[in-house]
Structure 1
Amino acid sequence: MTSRRGFIKAGGLALFGIGLGGIPSFLADAVAGTTTPGLFKKKKIMVCIFQRGAMDGLMAVTPFTDQYLKAARPGLFMTAAQGGKNKPLIDLDGKFGLHPSMSAFEPMFREKRMAIVHGIGSPNNTRSHFDAQDYMESGTPFNKGTASGWLNRAVGLLGHDAATPLQAVSLTSSLPRSFYGDNSAVAIKNLADFNIQLKGNQAGANMASKSFEDLYDQTSSGLLKNTGKESFDAVKMLQKTDTKNYKPENNAVYPATALGNALKQIAQLIKMDVGMEVAFAESGGWDTHFNQGTETGIFARNVNDLSNSIMAFWTDMGRYQDEVTVMTMTEFGRTVAQNGTGGTDHGRASCNFILGNGVSGGMVHGLVNPLAKENLEDGRDLAVTTDFRAVFSEVADKHLGIHNDKVLFPDWVGKQIGVMRGV
């Protein structure tokens, strides 16, 4: 008989938006037969946001005193100098400037609750989006055969007195690579309007009720009571809350975007006290080969959405802020030089943002050498000077209390960089 772990790994039940009215009667019966877990004691929560497409870290956080960068980007370079015709960068420390469309981050940086890591990336020099994302989410940049994702392994290392079906939640339409593995995780596209899909099942693409009947018929009763119970319990827990009429606290206003909506729903789950420990969301549109723009344009819109969505979430968290840390990630950066179409191509290192009350904030961590050609990776890219695993492991260790890097990142033997304060 198929094991519970095997079913989770191969099947990956995911909850996502279709409509409550479409839930078949057999599923409603199954939900009614479950026992909803009680309230869970408060635990630390890590929220990870993947910026898919490779963010230009040199535009998000610009080393604006670097004359090599200015020469390489005649149409894209931005300055922190005041009084010009263009909106200036936000001078963080006399060397690095935050993109003006990310002004929502400035107060958190000044209050030392936000840290930035620059020159971060993977030791694997692939410039393939698919491969780089896969390596980053598996946490094994030189092993393509790793079955699990690093966030799934993190969940397994936390230990749980009482299991909850919502301990690891991705606010996406399908389970991300980061959550693949033996430990349960669900993907929910919309809390107020959802259904169940079997990841990897070809029939899952057809969301007609017949596919659910097929799933039910193919699942043994014992398996339904175990693996299936996790997702059915999640359905029951969510149905008890009026998620459609959620009102953010502290006058937080979420952008009406995919990321804003995802973070608003993560906030709801945190306040529902359902035992969530790891949350995941995505932000797309970072592959800026054409017409990247400066203070306006594609990149400016993206960073504005990212920063405003995160800050709306943080404001909404209010009394929960001590429990939450937010971390962004992107598969690689962009070329130092602009291309012929007003954009930047696939590069190597980028930067990321970490927000929380336990962060060693108010500074740009990492190393960015002068961007002279001899300092560039392959003569064209910002060099990776901080392995992403050094940062991810430190956030997980210090915030979640995980102290087993050999399991979390099995091939990594480096050192953490001090981006988090002591526990």
Structure 2
Amino acid sequence: MSHHISRRQFVRFGASGLGALALTPSAFGYLFQRYARAAEAQVAQPRQRLVVIFQRGAMDGLSAVAPYGDEHYRQSRPLLAVAPPKPGDPAAALDLDGRFGLSPHLAPLLPLFQSGRLAVVHGVGSPDSTRSHFDAQDYMESATPGRKGTPDGWLNRYLQAAPLQKASPFRAVSFTQLTPRTLQGKADVIALDDLQAFELRAGGATGKVTSGFEEMYAQAAADALRHTGQDTLEAIRFLKRANPSRFQPEHGATYPNSPLGRSLRQIAQLIKANVGLEVAFTDCGGWDTHANQGAPGQPAGQLNRLLRDFGSAIAAFVQDLGAEQMRNTLVLTMTEFGRTVRQNGAGGTDHGRASCMFVVGGTVHGGQVYGDVPKLAPANLADGRDLPVTTDFRTVLAEVVVRHLGLAQAQPVFPGYTLQPAKFIGVLARRG
């Protein structure tokens, strides 16, 4: 049985675990010198970066991007429907294309859409019809709908399919306490819930390393622990040298003081520090709005608060990085399923099928709402109650992997799914 301890596991357990390693002075000195040099060497800088935000709990896409002109929509949601656009009306939709409108609580995203830097994919979801949050998230993060037990996530499979020489230890970072399903797999990933706390732990651990050589006279560690030490030192030294916390928000960007705002702020810091970041992941919860979802024109309500935070955080991230950095950075949002078309008796919505995804930056063909959303008459609904899935979420992910990340053969990333680039929805332009 293998006892290999990965970098993912190191970060999960904390840098304080260095004190438990027992190495000879010569072995420890060798590791330290080797990975001090590695930290100073120039690492591969990916041409493109991808930031994935998972909205856990199932976001109500019909409130976020409302088909405001559909009479069936308004009839099904007498309290929750977003009203047609009307200047000065705080409950009115922010018009996108004459049919769909942003929730007024997503106002910070409107300029991005109008300038062509943001696109929406509507009616998107999983072909599996489960209404279980756990199963639906598992299927979407593994990108294998209906198949339990898939050993790795789609982002980790991408990393395996596109190996980099001299890859940074921070090539793939998740701003979560544990490695998310999306990034689990053989490729190395770092999971940390707070960059500043990690840097403080790293600084303390480095002090222990450099001052304790003479005390490390026990028998040489086994290969597994030696590998752990290498990964640990690599991450510690590299991050300390890069010092991403020195980069403050630019261009007047102001992030919301929320977990999502802090995560995106720190992802921007890693990008500016040139640490070789290619894939970043974060999530935000609370989207399971069975009750007190909130009338569109009111500040109160669970969904309204979440939408304000979500829109403000993404807009701040785009503003912070600026046009040059965002040309090579794509933000993609996901949620496990949507909500019912009809509101329930508690002022909320129940588990549904399709929702919507936001695509920001990179070579996005923005200023459009993609996908097929039929009239919300009962005869057009899935199970007579839900927005039907008309775009398989893997179609969008595959287009991101091929057209943004540049992977020529994306089939290994999506096992069991027949990729047809000719049928990509065109949300991204081909890179030359």
Q: 1:190 aligns with which of 191, 194, 197?
A: 194
CA distance in 1, matches of 2:20, 2:347: 55
How far apart are 1:405 and its partner, in Å?
2.8
Which residue matches 1:238? 239
Which residue matches 1:229? 230
Question: More displaced, 402-411 or 93-102?
Answer: 402-411
How far apart are 1:229 and its partner, in Å?
2.3
How far apart are 1:237 and its partner, in Å?
1.7
CA distance in 1, matches of 2:155, 2:77: 37
CA distance in 1, matches of 2:318, 2:175: 17
Structure 1's 28 and 52: CA in aligned 2 closer, same or farther, altered over 3 A?
A: farther
CA contact (8 A) 2:125 2:355 kept: yes
Which residue matches 1:303? 307
How far apart are 1:224 and its partner, in Å?
3.1
Over the aligned positions, Cα root-mean-square deviation in angstroms equals 2.5
The one-character-per-residue Cα deviations of 1:373-400 (angstroms, maximum 9, x if unpaired) are 1110000000000000000110111111
How far apart are 1:14 and its partner, in Å?
5.2
The answer to whether the aligner puts 1:390 opposite 2:391 as a matched pair is no
How far apart are 1:335 and its partner, in Å?
0.3
The one-character-per-residue Cα deviations of 1:225-253 (angstroms, maximum 9, x if unpaired) are 33552343112222234455541121211
Q: Note the residue ranges of structure 2 that are not aligned, 5 or more in a row.
A: 202-217
* Aligned partner of residue 387 in structure 2, secondary structure: coil
Structure 1's 225 and 49: CA in aligned 2 closer, same or farther, altered over 3 A?
A: same
The answer to whether the aligner puts 1:274 opposite 2:275 as a matched pair is yes
Question: More displaced, 98-107 or 383-392?
Answer: 98-107
Structure 1's 317 and 328: CA in aligned 2 closer, same or farther, altered over 3 A?
A: same
The one-character-per-residue Cα deviations of 1:231-279 (angstroms, maximum 9, x if unpaired) are 4311222223445554112121111100011111111111221211110
How far apart are 1:304 and its partner, in Å?
1.1
Q: Percent identity?
A: 44
Which residue matches 1:144? 148
The one-character-per-residue Cα deviations of 1:125-160 (angstroms, maximum 9, x if unpaired) are 001000000000001002112101000001112221
Q: 1:331 aligns with which of 336, 340, 353?
A: 336
Q: TM-score, normalised by structure 1?
A: 0.88
CA contact (8 A) 2:362 2:404 kept: no
The answer to whether the aligner puts 1:134 opposite 2:130 as a matched pair is no
Which residue matches 2:373? 368
CA contact (8 A) 1:32 1:236 kept: no
Could you tell me which amino acid in structure 1 is paired with residue 45 of structure 2? K
Q: 2:426 aligns with which of 415, 418, 421?
A: 418
* Aligned partner of residue 50 in structure 1, secondary structure: strand
Q: Note the residue ranges of structure 1 that are not aligned, 5 or more in a row.
A: 198-216
Listed as ranges, the matches of 1:6-405 within 5 Å are 7-8=5-6, 12-13=8-9, 15=11, 25=19, 32=32, 34-35=35-36, 36-37=38-39, 38-43=41-46, 44-82=48-86, 86-194=90-198, 221-244=222-245, 246-293=247-294, 294-295=296-297, 296=299, 297-318=301-322, 319-405=324-410
CA contact (8 A) 1:152 1:179 kept: yes
CA contact (8 A) 1:16 1:189 kept: no
The one-character-per-residue Cα deviations of 1:183-206 (angstroms, maximum 9, x if unpaired) are 111101111113999xxxxxxxxx
How far apart are 1:357 and its partner, in Å?
3.4
Q: TM-score, normalised by structure 2?
A: 0.86
CA distance in 1, matches of 2:418, 2:244: 43
CA distance in 1, matches of 2:269, 2:357: 25
CA contact (8 A) 1:15 1:189 kept: no
Structure 1's 412 and 324: CA in aligned 2 closer, same or farther, altered over 3 A?
A: same
The one-character-per-residue Cα deviations of 1:78-114 (angstroms, maximum 9, x if unpaired) are 1123157543110101100101111111111111111
Could you tell me which amino acid in structure 2 is paired with residue 273 of structure 1? N
Which residue matches 2:213? none
Question: More displaced, 407-416 or 227-236?
Answer: 227-236
* Aligned partner of residue 15 in structure 1, secondary structure: helix
* Aligned partner of residue 264 in structure 2, secondary structure: helix
How far apart are 1:32 and its partner, in Å?
4.5
Structure 1's 92 and 14: CA in aligned 2 closer, same or farther, altered over 3 A?
A: farther
How far apart are 1:27 and its partner, in Å?
6.8
Structure 1's 239 and 84: CA in aligned 2 closer, same or farther, altered over 3 A?
A: closer
CA distance in 2, matches of 1:127, 1:388: 16
Structure 1's 194 and 340: CA in aligned 2 closer, same or farther, altered over 3 A?
A: same
CA contact (8 A) 1:49 1:282 kept: yes
* Aligned partner of residue 225 in structure 1, secondary structure: helix
